[in-house]
């Protein structure tokens, strides 16, 4: 009976949609750079392509999250986002000239931007603050299981059909179609908890949520960056949390640098992908139990534990030299991810009124995407100017400072459940 309190039909459906989508995406992740180079893309052009695509995803998360709150709808954004991402994959195999590839890849990330904030808000709407860790942990577990299955399928395919990359984009369309089909089983939750709506001045909608009135426009143009105004009316708790999380993001470079560290030790491509799969399996295994534990000891406590784990892993990564040590560090890195990825979204959703959930999550996701691009750029500069050991140590020390900030500074306000 206890499970029914948080593991609802919607939570299960959204989690399986994410699982199949990640199978499709992660099938292509290991071979994407190789495929792009095989059709004539230079390393520079690949970098520009990925930068544009990720920036598109990041900025659109804020806008469409805000729009989801204004429209009081989640499912249309979730469905449209997953559809765009699914159809973009075979498009990359149909034609190979640069502008088409840019369009298809950006469409994929645009789909992610449309769905992410609405999806996370939908998960938040399905539960109470006391169970947010479980819900987001379960979702991350399913999502990351797909991220482990995808590369495994890619390895099996390439074992039998080496170098035949185009067909992988077509095959990846199949789990994408399954994900789309599942979205048609989702329904928007219509309850009194979403606010009492009345008509305000000049056609504005006034939503009464948790004792206060939020005025939003129902009949005029919504600016693409209008979600940034949320900062001015957000709680102090939200501001302190987001400041810490963004500082963490600035020190958290792409996982590609961790894989590059493996290559520096002359590990084969197969071994490198194997370690990446191992990390995802650890992450998937621990995400749900960590979420359960977080609900008991506090989401903030679990988040801080995860940051200290990250600091240790990155500091130690600069000194690792054997496969055994790398295995241990990636094991701890998987636990770190379980302690932070879903937990951070649960924390943010707990600090926002229900009418603002997607806006709050989208606000953070949008800025975090920009900070991620900066982090990877800075990490690349440090890697080539002072060496990988120094880069990893700087990241580790920086995140250690962020964890201390959350532990000692973030104590003078109260929220519903942290």
- Is residue 207 over pLDDT 70? no
Is residue 150 in a domain?
yes
Tell me the range of 48-57, 179-188, 316-325 where mean pLDDT is highest.
Answer: 179-188
pLDDT digit string (tens) for 349-358? 888 888 888 8
Residue 145 sits in the same domain as residue 201: no
Same domain, 147 and 124: yes
DSSP code per residue over 297-322: H-HHHHHHHHHHHHHHHHHHHTT--S
Q: Is the pLDDT of residue 216 over 60?
A: no
Is 283 a member of any domain? yes
Q: What is the pLDDT of residue 202?
A: 37
Note whether 241 and 215 are same-domain residues.
Answer: no
Distance CA 251, CA 31 (A): 26
This prediction's pTM: 0.81
Q: How confident is the model at residue 102 (pLDDT cuts 50, 70, 90)?
A: confident
The order of strands in the sheet holding 196-199 is 196-199, 204-209, 212-217
- Give me the domain span that covers residue 81: 2-190+223-409
Range in 230-244, 322-336, 403-417 the model is least confident about:
403-417
CATH number for the domain spanning 73: value is 1.20.1250.20
Residues 132 and 202 in one domain: no
**Does residue 260 share a domain with residue 169?**
yes
Q: Long-range contacts of range 205-211, CB-CB < 8 Å, 24 or more positions apart?
A: 205/70, 207/355, 209/353, 209/354, 209/355, 209/356, 210/353, 210/354
- Residue 109 inside a domain? The answer is yes
3-state SS class at 171: helix
Whether 26 and 37 share a structural domain: yes
Q: Considering the domain boundaries, does residue 415 fall inside one?
A: no
Q: Give domain status of residue 261, yes or no.
A: yes
- The answer to the question of residue 197 being in a domain is yes
Closest-CA residue to 183 (of 10, 382, 414):
10
Q: Residue with structure tokens 């095989």?
A: 38
- Across residues 299-324, what is the average pLDDT? 90
Whether 184 and 59 have beta carbons less than 8 Å apart is answered as no
Is 198's pLDDT higher than 50?
no
Task: Mark whether 342 and 307 lie in a shared domain.
Answer: yes
The answer to whether residue 212 sits within a structural domain is yes
Instruction: Looking at the structure, tell me whether residues 184 and 84 fall in a common domain.
Output: yes
In a domain, 66, yes or no: yes
292 and 199 in one domain?
no
Q: What is the mean pLDDT of residues 11-16?
A: 94
The verdict on 113 and 201 lying in the same domain is no
- The domain total for the chain is 2
Q: Please check whether residues 197 and 261 belong to one and the same domain.
A: no
Res. 254: pLDDT tops 80 = no
């Amino acid at each position: 009976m206890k499970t029914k309190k948080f593991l609802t039909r919607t939570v299960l459906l959204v989690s399986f949609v994410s699982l199949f989508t990640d199978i499709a995406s992660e099938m292509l992740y290991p071979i994407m750079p190789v495929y792009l180079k095989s059709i004539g893309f230079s390393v520079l052009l690949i970098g520009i392509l990925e930068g544009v695509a990720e920036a598109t995803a990041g900025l659109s998360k804020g806008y469409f999250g805000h729009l989801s709150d204004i429209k009081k709808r989640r499912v249309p954004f979730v469905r449209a986002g997953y559809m765009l991402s699914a159809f973009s994959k075979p498009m990359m195999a149909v034609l190979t000239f640069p502008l088409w590839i840019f369009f298809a890849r950006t469409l994929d990330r645009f789909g992610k931007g449309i769905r992410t904030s609405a999806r996370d808000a939908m998960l938040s709407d399905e539960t109470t603050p006391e169970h947010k860790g479980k819900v987001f942990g379960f979702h991350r577990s399913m999502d990351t299981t797909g991220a482990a299955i995808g590369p495994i399928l890619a390895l099996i395919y390439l074992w039998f059909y080496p170098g035949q990359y185009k067909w992988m984009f077509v095959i990846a369309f199949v789990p994408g179609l399954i994900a789309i089909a599942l979205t048609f089983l989702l329904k928007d939750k219509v309850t009194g908890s979403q606010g009492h709506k009345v008509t305000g001045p000049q056609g504005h909608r006034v939503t009464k949520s948790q004792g206060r009135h939020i005025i939003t426009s129902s009949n005029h143009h919504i600016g693409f960056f209008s979600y940034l105004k949320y900062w001015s009316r957000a709680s102090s708790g939200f501001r302190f949390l987001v400041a810490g999380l963004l500082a963490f993001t600035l020190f958290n470079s792409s996982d590609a640098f961790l894989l590059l560290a493996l290559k520096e030790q002359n590990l084969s491509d197969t071994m490198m992908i194997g370690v990446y799969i191992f990390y995802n399996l650890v992450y998937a295994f621990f995400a749900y139990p960590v979420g359960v534990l977080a609900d008991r000891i506090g989401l903030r406590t679990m988040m801080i534990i995860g940051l200290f784990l990250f600091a240790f892993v990155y500091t130690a990564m600069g000194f690792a030299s054997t496969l055994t040590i790398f295995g241990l560090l990636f094991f701890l890195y998987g636990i770190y991810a379980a302690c932070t990825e879903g937990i951070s979204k649960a924390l943010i959703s707990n600090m926002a009124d229900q009418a603002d959930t997607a806006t709050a999550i989208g606000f953070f996701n949008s800025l975090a995407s920009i900070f991620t691009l900066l982090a990877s750029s800075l990490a690349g500069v440090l890697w080539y100017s002072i060496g990988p050991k120094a880069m990893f140590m700087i990241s580790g020390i920086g995140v250690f400072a962020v964890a201390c900030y959350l532990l000692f500074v973030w104590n003078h306000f109260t929220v519903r459940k942290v």
